[in-house]
Every structure is written in C-alpha cells, then in structure tokens.
Amino acid sequence: MSGPDADALLYAEGENGENQDEPSFFEDPKRIAQTVVAVVVLVAAIYYLFPRVVGIEDEIARLGDGDPVWITVALAFSVLMFASYVGLFKGVVGQKLRLRWTESYQITMAGLAATRLFSAGGAGGIVLTYWALRKAGMPRRESAGRMVAFLVLLYAVYMFTLLINGILLETGVFSGPNPAGLTIIPAAFAGGVIVIFLLIALIPRDFQRRLADASPDTRLGRIAVRVASVPETMAAGTRLAIAIVRDPRRGGMALAGAVGFWAANIAILWASFKAFDVSVGGAVIVQGFFVGMVANLFPFAPGGVGAVDAGMIGTFVLFGLPSGAVFAAVLCYRVIAFWLPLPPGVVAFFQLRGTVRRWERERENVPVGTEVAETLPGASITSESKV
C-alpha cells in the first residue's frame, strides 16, 4: 500500500510551512542513473533469473503468443485507469482549486511517475504533488490534508475490497481456492488498517497546539511538536475523506475515481489472463491482485519494481494457477499498467513545470480581486484554511 510516510508529510509541512523548492527527480543525473540501475537489476532478477530458478524459462518465448484482441482490451482499460486516477484527484482537490482537466492530468501523471521511479510507499509522488498544489495557491496545511484525503479514499477502496472479498472467499460465498494465508489473514490485516485510520480521525484538530502547550521548551520538545503535525494532518485528511464519501454531491467524482482506478487495474489483469487463455475466477483475480500489491511496500524497490511482480506471481501460484501462465499474464499486466505510462508521466512533469511558470506569470500581471484573477488556480484562497 502506498501512503504518506512521515518524511514526506514533514516535507509537506515544511520547516516554516514554505517549502516550495521544485523537485528535481528528472533533472538529477546521479539519481536517475541510480534508479535506472536499480530497476534494471530488479527486472532482470524477476524476468530472467526467476524463470530459470523455477524451471519455466520456456514461458518467456510464450509472451509473443498473447491474443492481440485481449491485449488491446487491456490497453483500453489502462486509459480508463488513468482517467479514473485524474478524476479522483480533481474530485478531492478541485473543491478548492480551479484546476483544468489538463492541469490535473499533468499533476497526477507526473506524481505517478515520481512515485514509481523514485520511491517506495509513494513518497516521491507526495513531494511532487505538494509542490504543485502550493504553486497553484493552496495553503500548506490544506495541501497536505487534501493529499492525505486523496490517498485515504484511494486505499480505502483497496482495504475494504481486501476485507470483504477475503471473507467471502474464505467462507465459500465466492467460489475459488481459499487458503487462509491469502484470504482471511489479508482480510484481518485490512480490517486492522481500517480501524487504525478510523481512530486516527479522532485525533483532535488542535493536537499540535495541545502538545506544544504541554511540552517543555527544549530541543526534544520542539521536535515532538513538529512531528505531531503528521498525525494531525493525517487526521484532518481522513476526516475530509469521510466527509467526501458522506456527501454524494460533493464526492461522487472522487469516489467513482477511486473505485474506477482499482477496477480498471483488475480489468487489465483479467484481460491479460484472457490473452494467454488462462481461466481465473473473478474473486481469485481480485484477491490475488490486492494481496500481490502489498509487495509495493518493499522499501528498497523503486515504486515496487520487481517486488510487486514477484508478489503477484507468487500469490497466483499459491492459488493453484500454473506458474508459466501466471508469469506471462502478470508480465503483460505490468508492461501495460506500469511501464507504458511512465514516458507520458515524465513528459507531464516537464509540462507541469511550464504550467507552474504560467500560473506565476498570470498572478504577477493580474491584480488580485479582479474577474480574471478569480479564475486562476487558488486565486480565491487567501489564508491558511482548515481542512
């Protein structure tokens, strides 16, 4: 599960709340070289060494035998996947910023590329998205809170599906293999995460102030107060996500985007299995996908590269599917859903830089309060509003 780790949220809060340096993910040659080397090593390990270790090296040749019709269907679902992702972002952030669809696309695609290439757990995308929102005029706490709300909505669908689907598979309501390690145990994990975030939502809005009042004026006390901004921001974002879900008029686009993103991912995987003539029950595909995606948390793989591939392959093999067919289908899924969107994401980053410069020029040339100024992203936000 990707999510806002402490370092990323502390960046979002900033030392003085004004950390707006442009992320240099795609401009640092050393960092790009390190990432490329890591990705190449991980991909080679999964797609070259792994088949030989388990004795399915002949299956690599089978990759060219995929049904082009089903591969085209998978590609169509990938378009729906990213449209849903942009819709979720616009549904959460668009309540405060007057972002065009093209601007929302640039932010989400650039953030997704940064997440997948430069961090595990989503930190790279968080840093880039926060920078874009601040440049669009959103106050720092609102930016951090709405980013948390975005992630909470996205992964609430993940966790509730893992919980419900796992229980129904384990109890036999859904047909298919149901080993406890792939059904009820992941369901229990998802239930625990849901409870934790519901408890986080109960953290007081003024938690940081209360801690500041109770903490001694020492270096350790000041660090504690600063770190307290993380749970306070997570609580604010979680409450906002709950409020969005409770109000269909307010949160319809966001909720549809969150559901659509995961549904389209699973549809891509389903079409990939079809492309290689593998019959898999719907509940098993859903469970195998979500359990395999947990490997995205592996801390040493950029964006889960290699770890997710291995996790998903291993999960479906444990569900009893033939390893060779699983290998081909998962590789097809990863190429379509993970690798193909990366070049557009990098392009979107450079487009976003141009968009940010345009925002800055427009604000410099238009007096605040005029009709034109009110159409700029964030022009109506003049104070550090509460989330």
Q: Which residue has the higher pLDDT, 385 or 349?
A: 349
* 304-352 pLDDT, tens digit each: 566 777 788 889 989 988 877 888 888 889 889 888 888 888 889 889 9
The angle that helices 229-246 and 140-170 make with each other, rounded to 10 degrees, is: 70
User: Which residue is listed with tokens 């000041």?
Assistant: 222
List the domain range (segments joined by +) for residue 369.
Answer: 6-375
Q: Would you place residue 15 in the very low, low, confident or very high pLDDT band (cuts 50, 70, 90)?
A: very low
Say if pTM beats, i.e. exceeds, 0.75.
Answer: yes
Quick check: is 381 in a domain? Answer: no
Quick check: is 383 in a domain? Answer: no
Percent of the chain at pLDDT exceeding 70? 67
Angstrom distance (rounded) from CA 375 to CA 387: 22
Q: Would you place residue 20 in the very low, low, confident or very high pLDDT band (cuts 50, 70, 90)?
A: low
Quick check: is 1 in a domain? Answer: no
Q: Would you place residue 29 in the very low, low, confident or very high pLDDT band (cuts 50, 70, 90)?
A: low
- The number of domains in the chain is 1
pLDDT of residue 88: 93
Return the minimum-mean-pLDDT range out of 100-114, 215-229, 287-301: 215-229
For residues 26 and 346, the answer to whether their CB atoms sit within 8 Å is yes
Quick check: is 380 in a domain? Answer: no
Q: If we measure between CA atoms, which residue out of 241, 250, 260, 263 comes closest to residue 83?
A: 260
pLDDT of residue 131: 87
For residues 23-48, give the mean pLDDT. Answer: 61
71, pLDDT greater than 90:
yes
* 128-157 pLDDT, tens digit each: 888 888 888 888 888 888 989 999 999 999
Angstrom distance (rounded) from CA 368 to CA 26: 34
Quick check: is 385 in a domain? Answer: no
Q: Would you place residue 385 in the very low, low, confident or very high pLDDT band (cuts 50, 70, 90)?
A: very low
375, pLDDT greater than 50:
no
pLDDT of residue 380: 42
For residues 101-117, give the mean pLDDT. Answer: 86
Q: Would you place residue 4 in the very low, low, confident or very high pLDDT band (cuts 50, 70, 90)?
A: very low
Quick check: is 206 in a domain? Answer: yes
Quick check: is 387 in a domain? Answer: no
Quick check: is 382 in a domain? Answer: no
Angstrom distance (rounded) from CA 29 to CA 13: 27
Residues found in the chain: 387
Element (H, E) at 214: helix 207-214
Averaged pLDDT of the chain: 78
For residues 176 and 281, the answer to whether their CB atoms sit within 8 Å is yes
**First CA to last CA across the chain, in angstroms?**
24
Q: Would you place residue 290 in the very low, low, confident or very high pLDDT band (cuts 50, 70, 90)?
A: very high
For residues 139 and 17, the answer to whether their CB atoms sit within 8 Å is no
Under DSSP, the state recorded for 23 is: P
Q: Which residue has the higher pLDDT, 2 or 25?
A: 25
Angstrom distance (rounded) from CA 158 to CA 174: 18
